[in-house]
Amino acid sequence: MASTKEYLDYVLCQINGIDITYKKMMGEYLMYASGVLFGGIYDNRLLLKPMDKAKEILQNVEYSIPYDGAKPMILCDFIDDSDRLSKVIKKLTE
């Protein structure tokens, strides 16, 4: 199932003070901050790359597979918390 533009727009509205760019790829969206790929939207879920920084910042994370054959990524289950989401993305892309 492809992600919707409405979900992408919602996630972008939740991220404050960071210039986010994205690329649409096969119905999904790759997301970048300061030119750094930090995650993407897959099946209307924001998934973060499992970088060492992400593992340090986030505790007790849930992993999810973005698509068949892909490596697991961190499921971002705090999209409604704009401040936390923005801080995490900022730290991931420093």
pLDDT of residue 60: 87
CATH number at 22 reads 3.30.1460
Helix 82-92 to helix 5-14 angle (10° resolution) is 90
What domain count does the chain have? 1
Q: Which domain holds residue 35?
A: 5-92
pLDDT of residue 88: 92
At residue 25, φ and ψ (nearest 5 deg) are -135, 110
pLDDT of residue 52: 84
pLDDT of residue 57: 85
How sure is the predictor about 25, in pLDDT bands with cuts at 50, 70 and 90? very high
pLDDT in tens, 27-62: 899 999 989 999 999 999 999 999 888 888 888 889
Q: What is the mean pLDDT of the chain?
A: 93
Contact 64, 88 (CB under 8 A): no
